């Protein structure tokens, strides 16, 4: 492969460069050999050098307290994200009424987030915690490529959901997606994500470092009991010295800047449309107007929250990547690992927030979640509440339809009468989303 990129978030390349070989020093002068049972007397400089070598050959790269914190934090993210996205998938697969065109994007988002939670997050934790890569070249490439694909699919799906909501609210008369078009759209999302991830899949490689025999003998004589003869590192090698930097700028625009612009624009237009729709009703009933204002405000807060959460989730990791791509740093590898882990967890937290933002806040998904959890945990109270909620909603919708039909009959039978302004509250979309 080509020249190594300066990008080194978890310190593999810095550690490769520092791996001691003793090839240019006199071994017996640096560390005396021990042919007897007498303990070896080491100078302060020799002891410091030996401790430094042993530290760099320790398989665990961070201290115990940091290790425990990372294990707990990643475990919470993995379990929360897996359960939340698993509920979204189960809710759609178990009931035909949930398999709507509107929910296809949500299920696509949930599948990509499930891959992040169940596959890439655990392997990334291994890469952060361990100083070496013990899983081989194929796994090194697969983990990097699959993580990139999942992140791209998740981002594009979030953007597609925003565009779809924009079309439904702002341009409701436009033709909706047919199943064939929807299938091609989802396939295109995954194909586009795969194309974007190819450079990263190609650049990831395992760098193999052999420990010289004389180095192993010295370490063994000074208490390092290990049969390891070599180390593997999962690193990024780019053919062009600035390849990683150019790729990161491209990804920053595609995965972060462009989605933020599109999502913000779409949701801003939706908020504007809902506000103008509320004003155009011109109802004289203060109570109905107040209800409509609250509904629009609640929707606006939700749309703003979705945008802000996405921005905050991915900002730390994108900022760190851009910094490490542009500047060559020689800081402590352990500190780099912890910093990268914190930024990585912020990005992965989007896989936990998405089921709440796109699932739980959707009435139909929330009902399915309660029913599934009620059956899993045997909660008769929860199942009864779900049935009562469904019955009340059905009765309310029937009452709304009846009022609309009555108003239509009055308009038809009294053509000369003045048009009446309907005070029926706006009915939610068929997918149960608040907009």
Tens of pLDDT along 47-80? Answer: 666 666 666 666 666 778 888 999 999 999 999 9
What was the pLDDT predicted at 223?
A: 61
Find the range with the poorest average confidence among 37-41, 65-69, 231-235, 244-248: 37-41
- The mean pLDDT value for 283-288 works out to 61
- pLDDT tens figures, 320-377: 888 887 775 555 566 778 888 999 999 999 999 999 999 888 888 999 999 998 888 8
Q: Label residue 299 by pLDDT band (50, 70, 90).
A: confident
What was the pLDDT predicted at 20?
A: 42
Read off the tokens for 151.
Answer: 């992140």
What was the pLDDT predicted at 106?
A: 93
pLDDT at 8 over 60: no
pLDDT at 128 over 70: yes
What was the pLDDT predicted at 383?
A: 55
**Between vectors from CA 328 to CA 143 and to CA 236, what angle results, nearest 5°?**
25
Find the range with the poorest average confidence among 250-254, 265-269, 271-275, 396-400: 396-400
Handedness of CA 61, 66, 72, 73 (dihedral sign): negative
Q: Label residue 431 by pLDDT band (50, 70, 90).
A: low
What was the pLDDT predicted at 181?
A: 85
Q: Between the ranges 84-88, 163-167, 368-372, 389-393, where is the mean pLDDT highest? A: 84-88
pLDDT at 292 over 50: yes
Comparing 389 with 91, the larger pLDDT belongs to 91
What was the pLDDT predicted at 168?
A: 87
């Amino acid at each position: 492969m080509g020249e190594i990129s300066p990008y080194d978030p978890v310190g593999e390349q810095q550690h490769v460069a520092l791996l001691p070989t003793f090839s240019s020093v006199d071994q017996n002068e640096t560390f005396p050999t021990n042919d007897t049972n007498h303990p070896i007397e080491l100078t302060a400089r020799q002891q410091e050098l030996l401790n430094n070598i042993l530290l760099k050959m320790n398989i665990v790269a961070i201290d115990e307290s940091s290790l425990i914190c990372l294990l707990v934090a990643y475990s919470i993210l993995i379990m929360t994200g897996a359960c939340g996205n698993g509920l979204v998938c189960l809710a759609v697969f178990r009931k035909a009424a949930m398999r709507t065109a509107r929910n296809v994007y949500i299920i696509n988002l949930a599948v990509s987030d499930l891959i992040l939670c169940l596959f890439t997050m655990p392997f990334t934790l291994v890469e952060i915690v361990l100083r070496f890569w013990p899983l081989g070249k194929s796994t090194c490439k697969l983990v990097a490529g699959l993580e990139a694909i999942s992140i791209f699919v998740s981002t594009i799906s979030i953007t597609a959901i925003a565009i779809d909501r924009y079309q439904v609210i702002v341009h409701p008369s436009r033709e909706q997606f047919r199943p064939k078009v929807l299938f091609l759209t989802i396939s295109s999302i995954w194909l586009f994500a795969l194309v974007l991830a190819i450079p990263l899949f190609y650049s990831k490689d395992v760098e193999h470092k052999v420990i010289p025999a004389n180095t192993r003998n010295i370490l063994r004589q000074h208490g390092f009991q290990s049969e390891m003869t070599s180390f593997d590192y999962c690193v990024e090698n780019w053919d062009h010295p600035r390849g990683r930097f150019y790729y990161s700028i491209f990804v920053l625009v595609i995965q972060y800047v462009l989605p933020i612009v599109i999502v913000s624009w779409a949701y801003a237009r939706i908020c504007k449309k809902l506000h103008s729709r509320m004003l155009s009703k011109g109802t004289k009933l203060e109570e109905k107007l107040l209800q409509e204002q609250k509904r629009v405000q609640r929707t606006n807060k939700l749309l703003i929250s979705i945008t802000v959460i996405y921005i905050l989730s991915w900002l730390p990791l994108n900022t760190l990547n851009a910094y490490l791509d542009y500047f060559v740093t020689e800081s402590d590898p352990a500190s780099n690992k912890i910093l990268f882990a914190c930024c990585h967890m912020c990005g992965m937290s989007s896989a936990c927030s998405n089921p709440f933002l796109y699932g739980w806040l959707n009435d139909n998904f929330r009902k399915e979640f309660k029913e599934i959890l009620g059956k899993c945990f045997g909660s008769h109270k929860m199942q009864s509440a779900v049935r009562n909620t469904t019955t009340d909603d059905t009765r309310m919708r029937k009452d709304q339809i009846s009022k609309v039909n009555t108003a239509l009959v009055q308009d038809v039978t009294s053509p000369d009468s003045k048009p009446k302004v309907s005070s029926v509250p706006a009915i939610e979309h068929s997918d149960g989303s608040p907009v």
